[in-house]
Structure 1
Amino acid sequence: MGSLKKVWLANNKFSGLIPESLVNLKSLMELHLENNAFSGRIPSFSQASLTYVNLTNNKLEGEIPQSMSRFGVEPFKGNAELCGQQIGKECSKETKKNEEAPMSKMKWIILGIVVGLLLLTILLRVKRKEDHFDKLGKENLVEGLHVATSSRKSMSIQRKGSESLRGSSRRGGSMKGGGKGMEDLVLVNSEKGTFGLPDLMKAAAEVLGNGVLGSAFKAKMGNGLSVVVKRLREMNKMNRDVFDAEMMKLGKLRHRNILQLLAYHYRKEEKLIVSEYVPKGSLLYLLHGDRGLSHADLNWPTRLKIVQGVASGMCYLHLEFASYAVPHGNLKSSNILLNENYEPLLSDYAFYPLINNAEIVQSLSAYKAPEAIQHQHLSPKCDVYCLGIIILEILTGKFPLQYLDNQKGGTDVVQWAQSAIADKRESELIDPDIASATDSIEQMVKLLHVGAACTISDPDMRIDMKETLRRIDDVSLT
């Protein structure tokens, strides 16, 4: 556990104190505890490696540790009882006194329970220390996820039983002798090279995180190719023929702004999809998490390039999947990856028809559109609304509250833009990091109006994707 770099415990309704054990994670880089019910004081996270913290929308109280002053105001919003220099709220003498007092017996009990639950969650995923995918079972494709406690992180795919199922090393075909019904990866795109399930079984892998649809891992194979493997949990009622047909559609997509599907694996209980790994990460991270060189590169030309690429990719999807209720369905900044040239790549697209869980479906970004919230009505215009959120997010640099299920925290970028346009003060919304390019303010405002047109509440008044792209292409650098 000591080698963990990213802890994602957001949106889980956890309560009690923040585990002090997290302070001992020496390599911790990101801490996501937002939208829970954690209470009490904030531990002093002083790790030099820590670059991103989000504690918003909890029930934390007391003085914010000085060691966390470098993170500013944003990570602590939605905690009314917090105080300290970081948020401009002076702590009372009583608060400071209570901070120095020993914790009560009950607090120690709660702390023990929270730590126990955290460790139990991790231990359930750990079978033993391994550095490879080395076992594949008949019934449960991924029964145990292994995160090594050494400096090298890895994952194992394993099952009940003892023997390792090596199967055939033939790439893209069936695994012979590997168990009844066991088949290899189906390779749908060989442009990045050929590989099979045995190659993934031997690859060292790193846990990237969990999303609405499942978990994601980075796997680096022996041929040097790094891929992202996603475990899709909410498509279990789909038969093989339907799933194959949908994956083949995705495998045929070719567009500079679409992350290409490389391969997939079908099992009744679980599905795997494999795509190329994009090292620079997501737009969400570069805008709101990374404050290093990559964030500094998000100048006006780069941001306009990203918007243009996203719109181009969305138009392509709307042509290819014109018969779908929502061609993308889950467009948000965390599903926009950026390559080394800051060219955007859309991911997690066209999954809406495949999902069988109604609750999960309603967690998709398309359901953030007003007509979906109020009337459960989905259409391609929902994708347009999501693109409008992206445009406003990129221009303002603010985290949209529309990404949060409870809509507490973040900024209502839609209402903010509408009010600013009505009062003719649009330039006040522009992110200060790009507003210094004064020669381009007029074009930034022009793009802001496009974002506002995409987020009109009435879908009949909202522009469509083709018109959105046309208006974006009319925006210039100066």
Structure 2
Amino acid sequence: MGSKDGLYWCMLLVVHILVSFTMLLSDASEITSLMTFKASLVNAEALNDWDPNVAPCNLTKVNWKGVMCGKDGSVFGLRLENMGLNGSIDMDTLAGLPGIRTLSFANNSFQGAIPDVSKIGMLRGIYLSNNNFSGVIRDDMFSGLKWMRRVELQNNKFTGRIPRSLTGLNILVDLKMQDNGFEGEIPDFEQKSLTVNFANNKLSGPIPQGLKDQNPSSFAGNKVCGQPLTTPCRIPTGKHIHKTLIVAVVTILGVLVIIGMVLLICQTRRRPTNGYKNQQTIKLSKNNPYKTSKKELQMHSDEEDNYKRSPNSGRLQFVRNDRQRFDLPDLLRASAEVLGGGSFGSSYKAALNDGPAVVVKRFKEMNNVRKEEFYVHLTRLGRFSHPNLLPIVAFYYKKDEKLLITDYAQNGSLASHLHGKRKPNEPGLDWPARLNIIKGVAQGLNYLYKQLPHLSIPHGHLKSSNVLLDKVFNPLLADYALVPIINKHHAREFMVAYKSPEYAYHDRTTNKTDVWCLGILILEMLTGKFPANYLKQGKGGSSDLETWVNSVVREEWTGEVFDKEMKVTRNCEGEMLKLLKIGMCCCEWNVESRWDLKMAVEKIEELKEKGSDEEYSSFTSDGDSYSSRAMTDDDLSFSKSVVKR
């Protein structure tokens, strides 16, 4: 080894030692701060595993209960919920943790004034709900917290006015202040993506214009008025009258100017005397995010006009011409069977006297959708024709009642076959059936992507209960493309797309979000296990199912990952392994690393029921694990990548 090489390796060793020493100092600093913070708490027995001799984080692995670890191994949050904690929350000490971004002390017994969150300038979320905090929150408490996205203060005893500094949080998306004693008027919130809840306080006065599209229930139990409530506001008096008069005068002058211009145009231009109607045209914006063609926009505009002129408003609107026509009285007379109640409403099977059975789904969470928008969107979906989409037959629109009528799938949902109780001697879904189903699901999803390029999540609610099976067990996607017409708050609470990692951590969906849902569905079909996080309201961020599969793969490739109901044969295990790999690549938490739909569909289409001799893999004699020859080089690299995650 030359002198230069020796010098290089010496310098490399020095750098490594310095980095290691820096990490040790960082760990020691975090341990000191957290132990000091713990000392300020009362009834902290739940934190007995906080060992000063062990680092809180080992990269992303959590060693201390309630600590949240970042990718670099630093502490980025505390989630100390449901622990019976009391005492004071030492924000000065927590401010000494440079990586801290989120704090949750929900469902404890803290009392007194709100902790001074302004001391942690990089804070993104503060969760203090269901405690006994009280008193007035100072008006500038949230000033300077430009990264704050979520504030949850509900079910405490706060009083006084809502801090106006909250209106300056430009990226705030979630504000929950219900069930307190806040009083006075609601400040002017203008954040576009904000969801609020001020229910059950002592608020009064008009609801600001920026909140007119919120759920009306968010203002219940107060003395407020104006949209979105049906309670009108009285004519303003006192200090508001001057501003109102100015607005009224300007509006009247504007109307007069417009009337004058119209009269002038009528006098200087002749009306067309020929018999042709003026064709409506729509100018396209250069910044149109949907990239919709002129022809398509013209078609949508014509559909809205048709609906406005239609004498059938309030009746069933059929969107397909190849189905028997019927009306509401026919549905009411038909024998009905309750199929179940989902997150959007109840479904019924209606058997018409002289026609096939249909499914009627009642939607409860579409009250903010205009009838013209509803008509245009459902009419468009009614034109879709694909063997793996559940056809929409008709719909019904009234302000308080919205129905969607679809074909009836004879074999129920995929979820019922994977997780429901079967009759004695009734076989489960074998491997060929499941492979056929996932291929059909991929093709149906691919069709939606092509037909709805303007939607980042063309399906939005892809899960096993929304995959129906026809009489020969071909899959039919249901409840697709509902995001544009579902109440936004309800969608974010219940729809599967909003449980993806990118929405949980970054409050956004992408054109790979439905691919994540597809990946979880693949794992569910292969393992027979239900994704438990789907049962939780609100955000997911990670899948219990994905975590379990990851843990099995981390140890070794074992047969126990696959559902025994698939009736595995000797030469199909290699294909099952390939599909498992596809599923993991589709539900990769990092969006950049996640496969896109095109790649997923191509790989799924390549799968066969049985592998060739070259691809042959088998279980060991006891059926617990794969033999070593089951693993190709590609599979080994995939296994290592999963372990790293």
Q: What TM-score comes out, normalization by structure 2 length?
A: 0.44
Would the alpha carbon gap of residues 459 and 293 (structure 1) be closer, same or farther in structure 2, given more than 3 Å must change? farther
Q: Could you say what secondary structure the match of 1:290 adopts?
A: coil
Q: 1:368 to 1:294 in 2, by over 3 A?
A: farther
How many residue pairs are counted as aligned between the two chains?
300
- Partner SS for 1:354: coil
Report the CA distance between 1:357 and its aligned residue. Answer: 4.1
Q: Quickly say closer, same or farther: Cα 1:268–1:402, change in 2 above 3 A.
A: same
Q: 2:355 aligns with which of 216, 219, 224?
A: 224
The answer (yes or no) to whether the contact 2:365–2:490 under 8 Å persists in 1 is no
The SS at the match of 1:318 is helix
Q: What is aligned with 2:471?
A: 340
Structure 2 residue identity aligned to 1:329: G
Report the counterpart of residue 598 of structure 2 in structure 1: 466
Contact 2:388/2:441 (8 A) holds in 1:
yes
- Identity, in percent, stands at 39
- Equivalent residue for 2:458? 327
Contact kept in structure 1, 2:431 and 2:609, CA below 8 Å: yes
Structure 1 pair 187–245 and aligned structure 2 pair: CA distance change class (3 A): same
The CA deviation at 1:461 is 0.8
Displacement, 1:182? Answer: 6.0
Query: Please, which of 184, 204, 209 is the counterpart of residue 315 of structure 2?
Result: 184
Partner of 1:284: 415
Q: Which is bigger in relative contact order (C-alpha 8 A, separation at least 6)?
A: 1
What residue ranges of structure 1 are gaps of 5+ in the alignment?
1-172, 175-179
Match of 1:433 among 558, 565, 568: 565
Q: Corresponding residue for 1:416?
A: 548
Q: Distance in 2 between matches of 1:243 and 1:418?
A: 42
Cα drift, residue 222 of structure 1: 1.4
SS at match of 2:519: helix
RMSD of aligned residue pairs (Cα, Å): 2.4
* Number of the residue aligned with 1:447: 579
Q: Please point out which of 361, 370, 379 is paired with 1:239.
A: 370
Residues in 2 aligned to 1:431 and 1:356: alpha-carbon distance in whole angstroms:
37
Pairing partner for 2:346 from 215, 219, 243: 215
Matched, 1:353 2:484: yes
Which is higher, the Rg of structure 1 or of structure 2?
A: 2
Distance 2:498 2:426 in 1: 29
1:145-224 to structure 2, matched below 5 A, reads 183-224=314-355
Q: Give, in whole Å, the separation in 2 of the partners of 1:403 and 1:356.
A: 19
Paired residue secondary structure (2:404): strand
For residue 440 of structure 1, what is the amino acid of its counterpart? C
Q: Distance in 1 between the 2:316 and 2:480 partners? A: 20
Alignment of 1:18-417 (within 5 A): 183-292=314-423, 296-405=427-536, 412-417=544-549
Over 3 Å counting, the alpha-carbon distance change for 1:428 and 1:297 in structure 2 is closer
Write out per-residue CA displacement over residues 232-268 of structure 1, whole angstroms, 9 at most, x where no aligned residue. 1111121111111001111000000000100001111
Task: Report Cα offsets for 1:198-242 as digits up to 9, x if no partner.
Answer: 321221212221111111111111113211111111111211111
* Deviation sequence 1:320-354 (CA, Å, 0-9, x none): 11111210000100011001111000000000111
Distance change (3 Å), C-alpha of 1:293 and 1:193? farther
Shift of 1:469: 0.6
Q: Which amino acid aligns with 1:302?
A: A
Structure 2: which amino acid aligns with 1:280?
N
Cα displacement (A) at 1:281? 0.6
CA distance in 1, matches of 2:586, 2:570: 25
What is the CA deviation profile of residues 34-67 of structure 1, one whole-angstrom value per residue up to 9, with x for unaligned ones? xxxxxxxxxxxxxxxxxxxxxxxxxxxxxxxxxx
What amino acid maps onto 1:265 in structure 2?
Answer: Y
Distance in 2 separating the partners of 1:378 and 1:190: 35
- The CA deviation at 1:315 is 0.5
Which string of whole-angstrom CA distances, capped at 9 and with x for unpartnered residues, describes residues 367-410 of structure 1?
A: 121111122211221111111111111111111213220699xx
Are the counterparts in 2 of residues 286 and 294 from structure 1 also a CA contact under 8 Å?
no
Aligned AA (2:600):
T
Residue 195 of structure 1 deviates from its aligned partner by 1.9
> Letter of the aligned partner of 1:420 in structure 2?
V
Instruction: Quote the offset at 1:190 in angstroms.
Output: 3.2
1:213/1:232 contact within 8 Å kept: yes
Contact 1:352 1:361 in 2 (8 A): no
**Offset of residue 197 of structure 1:** 2.2
Q: Give the AA of the match of 1:477.
A: E
1:435 Cα deviation from its structure 2 partner? 5.0
Which residue type is aligned with residue 358 of structure 1?
H
Matched-pair contact (CA < 8 Å) for 2:579–2:604: yes
Q: Which amino acid aligns with 1:330?
A: H
Q: In structure 2, what residue type is equivalent to 1:319?
A: K
CA contact (8 A) 2:428 2:566 kept: no
The structural deviation recorded for 1:292 is: 3.3
Contact residue 431 and residue 568 of structure 2 kept, 8 A: no
**CA-CA distance at 1:463 after TM superposition:** 0.6
- Equivalent-residue separation in structure 2 for 1:362 and 1:440 (angstroms): 39
CA contact (8 A) 2:392 2:405 kept: yes
SS for the counterpart of 1:242 is helix
Q: Distance in 2 between matches of 1:460 and 1:359?
A: 28
Which runs of no fewer than 5 residues in structure 2 stay unpaired?
1-305, 611-645
What is the identity, as a one-letter code, of the residue corresponding to 2:603?
R
